[in-house]
Structures are given as structure tokens and as C-alpha cells.
């Protein structure tokens, strides 16, 4: 993780979430897949400050989820976490996002405690 990204996360978490779209975040990446990776990194680093390792999405409290939504909105993104009962066999394809060109089509999945957790992002539209 770059020093700039680490500094951004530290500064972001030093205060409560701001109004949606009120923080300017400029991400220099190679297209939408790179942006997606940065957003996943931000989510992971934020969770590291709230949840004891190893990070498990099943341990998120509703308040943690609400904070993630609010922080991501403050810099112009929607954070989505869907939880579904897991079918018996699931093949996670977490590198499949590289085949997509739209942010909202990219997902990261984790299987925990018989549930499938799907993380995705989208641009905040006002």
C-alpha cells in the first residue's frame, strides 16, 4: 500500500464520516480494475482498525457496516455488502473482476459461517 493511500485512510478515520461527496479522492490507477483494487484496499485497512485479525466479514456489526457506507459515500462511492445463505458448493472467482469494465459489475466474495459475503462498489450518484 502506498504512503499516500495509508495517509488518506488515517486522515479519513480521524474524524466521523463527512457529507456524501464532500471529500475529493483522486486515484491514479490503470483503469477501473485498479480503482476497484484500491477501494478493496481501503475497505480492508478500515476494517483492520475496527475488527481484530483475521478479518472476517461475519464479525462486522451493523454499526461497522453503516460506518463503511458513510465513509465511502464521503469520497463519492457506494459500498455494498450482500449476505446470502451459501449453497453447498461455491466457486469463488475473485479475480474475475479483471474481465469487467464497469465498477458496479466487479465483486469480491468470501465464504464464512455458511454465508456468502459479496462486496461491491459503485459511483455515488446524486
pLDDT in tens, 56-112: 888 888 999 999 999 999 999 999 999 988 766 667 777 787 888 899 999 998 888
Please give the Cα distance from 124 to 126 (Å, whole number): 6
Per-residue pLDDT band at 126 (split at 50, 70, 90): low
Predicted confidence at residue 55, as pLDDT, reads 84
21 compared with 28, residue with greater pLDDT:
21
Distances (CA, A) of 86 to 54, 59, 61, 79, 105: 21, 17, 20, 21, 20
Q: Would the pLDDT of 15 be above 90?
A: yes
Residue 120 cell numbers, joined = 461491491
Please give the Cα distance from 102 to 75 (Å, whole number): 18
Does residue 54 have a cis peptide bond before it, meaning omega lies within 30 degrees of 0?
yes
Question: What are the residue boundaries of the structural domains of the chain, listed by start?
Answer: 3-123
Please give the Cα distance from 19 to 37 (Å, whole number): 24
51, 46, 53: which is closest to 8 by C-alpha?
46
Amino acid at each position: 500500500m502506498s504512503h499516500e493511500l495509508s495517509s488518506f485512510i488515517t486522515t479519513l478515520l480521524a474524524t466521523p464520516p463527512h457529507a456524501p461527496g464532500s471529500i475529493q479522492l483522486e486515484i491514479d490507477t490503470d483503469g477501473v480494475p485498479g480503482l476497484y483494487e484500491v477501494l478493496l484496499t481501503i475497505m480492508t485497512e478500515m476494517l483492520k482498525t475496527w475488527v481484530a485479525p483475521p478479518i472476517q466479514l461475519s464479525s462486522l456489526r451493523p454499526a461497522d457496516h453503516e460506518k463503511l457506507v458513510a465513509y465511502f459515500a464521503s469520497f463519492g462511492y457506494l459500498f455494498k455488502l450482500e449476505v446470502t445463505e451459501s449453497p453447498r458448493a461455491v466457486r469463488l472467482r475473485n479475480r474475475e473482476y479483471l474481465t469487467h469494465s464497469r465498477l458496479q459489475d466487479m465483486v469480491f466474495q468470501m465464504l464464512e459461517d455458511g454465508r456468502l459475503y459479496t462486496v461491491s462498489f459503485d459511483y455515488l450518484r446524486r
